[in-house]
Amino acid sequence: MTQKTQQRFLGKTAVITGAGSGIGEATATLFAQEGAKVIACDISQGRLDALSRTLEAYDIKTCAGDVCNGKVIEEIVEMAQERIDVLANIAGIMDRFLSVGEIDDSTWDKVIAVNLTAVMKLTRAALPIMLEAGHGSIVNVSSEAGLRGSVAGAAYTASKWAINGLTKNTAFFYGDKGIRVNAVAPGAVKTSIEAPMESNLSINRIEPLMKALMPPTAEAIEIAQAIAWLSSDEAKNINGVILPSDGGWGAV
């Protein structure tokens, strides 16, 4: 028997960043299949073109550009045509596992810009639309690195702990206005995000822990399903939550 696809997002508009690969691609695909009008954003036009071909039977628009760029954010909001029911902030980059004593200013600034500042700016841009509608769901992607200090470098870890704070703070301020804000904290996931371990300190300190304690790597669709659930009416009583999707890593 073929299982019928749910239509939890029929008639809704979802903005999804990092949609060209990995968790973002899986999320854009899932939302489109469940009836959403998807505005898929990614830094790579080529990846978005491939996504459009895959989802040509669905309602999808694409926006190529760096989410750190204010003009790109303006374009995303314009494409939404005054309706954003769901915002999934998924775009992110790693920091080569560099500790605070090793990281350079350029790497720090770029990681914070993509992983944190862009999330704040896109959320800020989407809020007036959600407030006017009286409802909206925002899901940020945190990380296992936002729950502990032993799985990534200084910049990535700091950015994800900050995302947790931004998530809870925004949920507090806007929850009584019909806007829910939550985050998913994945463990290891099969994605195309580059994560070279260029620090000898990390190789000596982090790598043994990962080999000993890290659960099996998840598929991107497993994280997408958590994002979709948090975005849906099924989770309408969930607000300000950081939801681990880490295969039990947090229990170790």
Which residues are known catalytic residues? 142, 156, 160
Helix (H) or strand (E) holding 22: helix 22-33
User: CA 218, CA 199: separation in Å to the nearest integer?
Assistant: 25
User: CA 188, CA 168: separation in Å to the nearest integer?
Assistant: 23
Q: How far is CA 251 from the centre of its chain?
A: 23
What does 187-201 look like in DSSP terms, one character per residue?
A: -SB--S-------HH
Q: Vertex 140, ends 51 and 143: CA angle to 5°?
A: 100
